[in-house]
Chain A
Amino acid sequence: LAKTTQPISMDSYEGQEVNITCSHNNIATNDYITWYQQFPSQGPRFIIQGYKTKVTNEVASLFIPADRKSSTLSLPRVSLSDTAVYYCLVGDRNSGAGSYQLTFGKGTKLSVIP
């Protein structure tokens, strides 16, 4: 599975837009990019998944440039409740992200400050 690199931590004030970038230089042609969110004392929760360009749902947006070597998770107008660890996963939809044997890195710890 392709390895991912993301910042260890980020701080943001309430109400700001937060962008977390993940590098995946060795992404394969059939790999998808998936983001999970994990609150303290809870299991990870699926946020969003994409293959190319832009994907948006009620929680976040995912921007993927044409070369797909990176992706950016965008959280609009964060609140204190968005404080969590965010994981970027890359893998074949049938053998990695989106399927079994999810491979998590250390994630990005986002702290939202009042």
Chain B
Amino acid sequence: GAGVSQTPSNKVTEKGKYVELRCDPISGHTALYWYRQSLGQGPEFLIYFQGTGAADDSGLPNDRFFAVRPEGSVSTLKIQRTERGDSAVYLCASSPRVSGTQYFGPGTRLLVL
């Protein structure tokens, strides 16, 4: 079946701009996660959704970052006033339940100039 998909695959933006990154989880998966991966590092947890609500957003670096999942399926990660330090690969994962194996998408490569 279809895996986790993320769009766009690449995003180039200028410092100060607003960006939205989209994640389509595997159908039926109730849990959805966002991670950020910098070059040469492992992924870092950002936020976790169970259904429509953000169950844990402790990994969001600051209030410029926000994520939504209004209908309990697709999720959007929103970054305001982007900074060059936000450049990274943003990974989305989903799992059938909170304790299940996480299935990752290919990521969105964000470059802030």
Number of interface residues of A (CB under 8 A): 20
Please name all residues of chain B whose beta carbon is closer than 8 Å to the beta carbon of A102 when the two chains form the complex.
33, 35, 43, 45, 102
B104 to chain A, nearest CB (A): 3
A30 within 8 A of B: no
* B99 and A101 within 8 A (CB): no
Please name all residues of chain B whose beta carbon is closer than 8 Å to the beta carbon of A50 when the two chains form the complex.
none
* A94 and B99 within 8 A (CB): yes
Q: State which size class the interface on B falls in.
A: 20 to 34
* A44 and B104 within 8 A (CB): yes
* B45 and A103 within 8 A (CB): yes
* A99 and B43 within 8 A (CB): no
Contacts of A46-101 to chain B: CB distance below 8 A: 46, 49, 87, 93-94, 98-101
B59 within 8 A of A: yes
**When A and B form their complex, which 7 residue pairs have the shortest distance between CB atoms, in order from nearest?**
A43-B104, A104-B42, A100-B48, A101-B45, A99-B99, A46-B101, A43-B91
